[in-house]
Structure 1
Amino acid sequence: EYLSKHFSIGSQGFQFAWQSGTPSRSKGFEVSEHLPKRPQPQYMKFLNEKRKTLKAENPNWSRSERRDYLIEEWKTLPKEQKEIYVKSYLQDLKEYRERQKSYEADLSDDEKVIIKRVCKENHARI
């Protein structure tokens, strides 16, 4: 039961959710709901904030047109505004690391042994 909560088996064998970042469905990995989720990088946070309003304002634009527009908008964004996203990301990253430490501290000795064995078998690093 532990393995099914904290690992997934895909085309590349055992995989911890935190090793794969945000795994894609095409790789066959599923992220365990018990593991802390990594924060979005500042660029992705910017895109996700702007994407919905841009789509509403320009419903006839294709995905690639919206993407290209947002890429250009990010490139030309003043440094002060980018700094807001950077600070937000760094705060989210700090909170993520705290949740990750808490998660790892809550693991039983048996669970730690299982993780260590699986990592060793798959040449993974924690």
Structure 2
Amino acid sequence: MKIIFSLLFSIYLLSAQLVVVTNKNSELNTIPKEIIQYIYLAKIDKVEDIKVKPIISDDKNLHSKFCNTILCKSESQYNSYWARLVFTGRKPIAKRLGWQEVISKLKELNTIAYIDKKDLREEWKIIYEEN
């Protein structure tokens, strides 16, 4: 039974195609993976002189896949990284938002969020897509 569950869970994770999106009216266009990493690791907050506001999902599976595929870190490594930033006072802790809050925040220009491609909406554009 555990093997079947593990197999189904793996298939689910593989089937979800991760994309990073922004408002379709944003000046942001295609952004390379390295820049997405820098934004979500709070190393930069501007791309081509445009201040970017990253959103973190409270969906555990989606967030875990984002950490693994985009940030190239496990979720525990990501949490440890942020704990150090918060402890040293360099950055406040990032709030994780539910799906409805993500939808609401993406109405703002230059806000970015990672989502499953199947959830893409007409008012958003893809700025990064994992191949």
**TM bracket (short chain):** under 0.3
Whose relative contact order is higher, 1 or 2, with alpha carbons under 8 Å and at least 6 apart?
A: 2
Structure number with the higher helix fraction is 1
Normalising by structure 1, report the TM-score.
Answer: 0.24
